């Protein structure tokens, strides 16, 4: 069994908990309070900048030149393409100030940045994988279960439930499987731990937005 298949099994329960979150349910039926979505989008826009920086650091470290190019593209997509979705919502909502990093986002970003800086590149690619994979699965799930009539969050749903995003996700999974195959059992274990940690943080990111959780 591939590393990715084995690892997904370890987070299956956590993934199912994500699907049951009120944030996901209400985003999907369009009833999520705008205040919560705005909080989420502002934090996510800050997140994407640092996620893009993390992907660039991985691009600088990864061995295979095709993989260097893939992570450079992922970084550009996070900062330019994904963030364009956020900017368009900010325009609609009249948001000019995204504010500061709040606890869940701060924690997640710093986990990704420190993993990319201090761990091996194999562990770093595993740490960023839930940012692709969980979003694709949640995006697809919402796409299939959405209320598409007058849903204010339609653009979000189409971005993460769309084919373009899915192609990048498949690439990121394939790179993880390749590096996992060529490394030690100990590193594969660390990759799985990093993947689990990021999965947890995806959960807490949505939870924090639903609760509008800020610093004291």
Ligand X SMILES: Cc1ncc(CN)c(N)n1
Binding site for ligand X (CB under 6 A): 44, 47-48, 82, 131, 135, 202, 205
Minimum CB distance to ligand X, residue 68 (Å):
20
Minimum CB distance to ligand X, residue 60 (Å):
20
Residue nearest to ligand X (CB): 131
Query: How many angstroms separate the CA atoms of 205 and 164, rounded?
Result: 24
Q: Which is nearer to ligand X, 8 or 205 (CB)?
A: 205
Q: Which is nearer to ligand X, 167 or 182 (CB)?
A: 167
- Output the DSSP codes for 110-160: HHHHHHHHHS-HHHHHHHHHHHHHHHHHHHHHHHHH---SS-TTHHHHHHH
Q: Answer yes or no: are the C-beta atoms of 143 and 157 closer than 8 Å.
A: yes
Minimum CB distance to ligand X, residue 186 (Å):
27
Tokens representing residue 96 in the block: 């000019």
Catalytic residues: 131, 202
Q: Which is nearer to ligand X, 169 or 187 (CB)?
A: 169
């Amino acid at each position: 069994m591939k590393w990715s298949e084995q690892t997904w099994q370890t987070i299956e329960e956590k993934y199912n908990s994500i699907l049951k979150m009120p944030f996901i349910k209400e985003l999907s039926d369009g009833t999520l309070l705008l205040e919560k979505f705005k909080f989420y989008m502002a934090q996510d826009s800050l997140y994407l900048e640092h996620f893009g920086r993390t992907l660039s650091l991985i691009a600088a470290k990864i061995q295979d030149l095709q993989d260097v190019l893939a992570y450079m593209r992922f970084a550009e997509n996070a900062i330019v393409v994904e963030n364009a979705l956020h900017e368009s919502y900010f325009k609609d909502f009249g948001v000019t100030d995204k504010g500061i990093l709040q606890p869940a986002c701060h924690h997640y970003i710093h986990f990704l940045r420190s993993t990319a800086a201090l761990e091996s590149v194999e562990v770093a690619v595993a740490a960023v994988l839930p940012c692709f994979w969980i979003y694709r699965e949640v995006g697809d799930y919402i796409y299939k279960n959405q209320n598409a009539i007058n849903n204010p969050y339609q653009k979000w749903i189409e971005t993460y439930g769309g084919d373009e995003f899915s192609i990048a996700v498949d690439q990121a999974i394939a790179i993880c499987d390749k590096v996992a195959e060529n490394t030690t059992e100990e590193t594969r274990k660390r990759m799985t731990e990093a993947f689990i940690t990021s999965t947890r943080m995806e959960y807490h990111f949505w939870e924090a937005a639903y609760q509008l959780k800020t610093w004291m």
